[in-house]
Copies of this chain bind each other. A is one copy, B any other.
Amino acid sequence: MQQYPSQLLEKAVNEFSKLPGIGRKTALRLVLFLLRQDPDMVFGFGNTLIELRRDIKYCQVCHTISDTDVCSICADENREQGVICVVENIKEVMAIENTRQYRGYYHVLGGVISPMDGVGPNHLQIDSLVKRVESGAIKEVILALSTTMEGDTTNFYIYRKLAHTGVNISTIARGVSIGDEIEYTDEVTLGRSIANRVSFQDTFKI
């Protein structure tokens, strides 16, 4: 056990090492960095964290992180009506927004079903998704969850929950990444990309 010459220092190192991917050595490096900074910068850092946790809101419609009751995407009436993309987390919303290829709305589950981690369907925003679809204004639900066992489980769970509504349910295409070499692509991905092949003319808009 490392001996710290100061309890304040040790406490700060303890806090930083609670963060994922940050061990005690890195934590000490970060704390010593903060000690070299302007006090105002460090006070700002601390207060930002406190404010974040205290004041953060989640959109009442899609449950993404938002400063307002309804997020800017859900409030935007110029987006494609009736299309909802179901994602795990806000990170996927940001990644999909960055592609500029999608103009519909989102629904953030807040995770995927994972019995190992004690996450069941009731911990996720699945009921509110079903309600949104049952309202009748939705024509397509796009599932964009990870291709892990948990992601697939969640996909099937949502599929069964939505089946009675008759809404179109699609899932994002899986295939060989742009820039990847066919030779090195794993068999499952390559198999799926052949099975789901698309019209050449459609893809290149010829």
Q: Are A3 and B97 in contact (CB under 8 A)?
A: yes
Copies held by the complex: 2
Q: Closest approach, in angstroms, between the C-beta of A175 and any C-beta of chain B?
A: 24
Interface residues of A in 15-35 (CB under 8 A from B): 15, 18-22, 26, 28-35
Q: Closest approach, in angstroms, between the C-beta of A22 and any C-beta of chain B?
A: 8
Q: Closest approach, in angstroms, between the C-beta of A48 and any C-beta of chain B?
A: 5
A182 within 8 A of B: no
A200 within 8 A of B: no
* Of A6-14, A130-138, A161-169, the one with at least 4 CB within 8 A of chain B: A6-14
Q: Closest approach, in angstroms, between the C-beta of A66 and any C-beta of chain B?
A: 6
A97-138 Cβ-contact flags toward B at 8 Å (1 or 0): 110000000000000000000000000000000000000000
Q: Are B15 and A67 in contact (CB under 8 A)?
A: no
- Count chain A residues whose beta carbon lies closer than 8 angstroms to a beta carbon of B: 58
Q: Are A5 and B72 in contact (CB under 8 A)?
A: yes
A50 CB contact (under 8 Å) in B21, B30, B46? B46
Q: Which of A4, A15, A32 has the most CB of B within 10 A?
A: A15
* Of A88-96, A149-157, A189-197, the one with at least 4 CB within 8 A of chain B: A88-96
Residues on B with C-beta less than 8 A from A8 are 51-52, 55-56, 67
Q: Are B65 and A35 in contact (CB under 8 A)?
A: yes
3 tightest A-B CB contacts, nearest first: A42-B53, A46-B50, A46-B49
